[in-house]
Amino acid sequence: MTKNKSIREVALNILESVEKNRAYSNLLLTHAIFQNDFSKKDAGLLTELTYGTLQRKITLDYYLQPFIQRKKIEPWVMHLLRLSVYQFAFLSKIPDHAIIHEAVEIGKKRGHKGIAGFINGVLRSIQRRGLPSIEAIDDPIEKLAIETSHPLWLVKRWIDQYGLEKTTAMCKENIRAPKQTARINRWKTSGDEVFHALKKEGLDVSKSEHLPDAIQSSNGNLATSNAFRNGLLSIQDESSMLVGFAVDPKEGERILDTCSAPGGKTTDVAERMNNTGTVIACDLHPHKLKLIEENKKRLGLANIETVVIDARKASTRFPLESFDCVFVDAPCSGFGVIRRKPEIKYTKTETDIRKLASIQREILHEAAKLVKKGGRLVYSTCTVDKEENEQVAMGFLKNHPDFERDENLAKRLPKSVEPFVQGNSLQLLPQDLQSDGFFIASFQKKV
């Protein structure tokens, strides 16, 4: 992407790249905002257009279908039509004539007069006839899938796992904009100090209702604040912060994070140890560990070591039973973070879920060898799928008789989270705390 493109052209490029290259929308969006040096207002519009169009893709295709029927359309033209219809349907402050004019101009620039004419015809027909009603869909499950833009197979799967009521709430929460939250660097500063510093910078921040040392922002970008640059906070979702509570490290301990990048949980644990002891952060990809090294420096932490290794081979690198706690933030389908990465719901399949659950089992089996007798193994994912979460946790206990359920997990978590704990595991759905969907299970190695 280059400078001097219009907001909608940049949004169109991001939408194309997400689908064509399977790139993550949040990373592309951040890069585009910095590269084009957009104002705060333009960055807000770009974010709305990109996330909104991605989040509502299935709904938008339903709206477009009567107007395009079975015509063969180039992918970029389809993205442009979705982008335009999103504005018709969900943004009230942009006049129809401006939406059509901009789309037609992009059509001329990217294609030719014929394509511009087609785009103009489709959009003017929609303007004249109006969008088809979702209320006309008879099947309640299909209606929910189209209304909230989730694949039908995924909605059916969640209904099988959680029932219709919880699935409906989850689907509706997934199309709401996520809050931006940050974790205070507690060994370096206090929540009050950071709170007042951010207020002085003009950010509209509030303290978390659920977690101590967490801050929410309803405007502005915490990642561009002086408090962030000075290492006083880290951007992290509240549900992700719960791993630090579950691990509950003590000063001087030796902790292993088997799948650490980008390092939010690693640095949380290191801060909880007041910069003492050792946290070894592993990852398969060296370039991802560089992010942890950068954050370690920014946060002033000296107790993190980074190691490039496949978590499934960790016991070839570290002595057996040498860690007080090992935590496995396992690779997963990511269905708990659909609000931040909407493309996930369109690209992941049931086959992916089975493969990921298998990888999780392998990593847990390896990690178990490295936990000291009496130590803890904490397993977490950012998904809501029971095949990855509950079934993997139950399978682990069945196949590892030297471990038992850690029934004290609830006592270590914040009060507002306790109702969601069952035995040694926690499953948060996105609607529970308006956070990411997240799973944590804790196991104790027998003495």
| DSSP one-letter string for 31-86 | HHHHHHT--HHHHHHHHHHHHHHHHTHHHHHHHHHHHHTT----HHHHHHHHHHHH
C-alpha of 11 from chain center: 20
pTM: 0.93
377 and 325 in contact (C-beta within 8 Å)?
yes
What six digits make up the tokens of 83? 């982008």
Q: Annotated binding residue at 425? A: no
Can you list the positions of beta strands (E) in 223-322? 233-235, 254-257, 278-283, 304-308
Contacts of 110 (CB under 8 A, 6+ apart): 76, 80
What six digits make up the tokens of 125? 């027909």
Q: Closest Cα to residue 60, out of 140, 122, 153? A: 122
Q: Pick the catalytic residue from 171, 325, 332, 382.
A: 382
Q: Annotated binding residue at 260? A: yes
What is the rounded distance in angstroms from the CA atom of residue 263 to the CA atom of residue 294? 10
Q: Annotated binding residue at 374? A: no
| 106 SS3 class | helix
pLDDT at 4: 62
| Residue ranges in the chain whose pLDDT is less than 70 | 1-4
107 and 77 in contact (C-beta within 8 Å)?
yes
Active site (annotated) includes residue 382 = yes
Return the CA Rg of the chain: 23
What six digits make up the tokens of 283? 């990852």
Q: Closest Cα to residue 185, out of 300, 297, 292, 289? A: 300
pLDDT at 30: 83
pLDDT at 2: 45
Q: What is the pLDDT of residues 350-360, one digit of tens each?
A: 999 999 999 99
Q: Annotated binding residue at 329? A: yes
What is the rounded distance in angstroms from the CA atom of residue 418 to the CA atom of residue 80? 45
Q: Annotated binding residue at 121? A: no
pLDDT at 40: 79
- The backbone torsions φ and ψ at residue 200, rounded to the nearest 5 degrees and listed phi first, read -65, -30
pLDDT at 139: 97
198 and 215 in contact (C-beta within 8 Å)?
yes
What is the rounded distance in angstroms from the CA atom of residue 380 to the CA atom of residue 239? 11
What six digits make up the tokens of 419? 């109702």
H-type alpha helices, 175-277: 191-200, 226-229, 238-247, 264-272
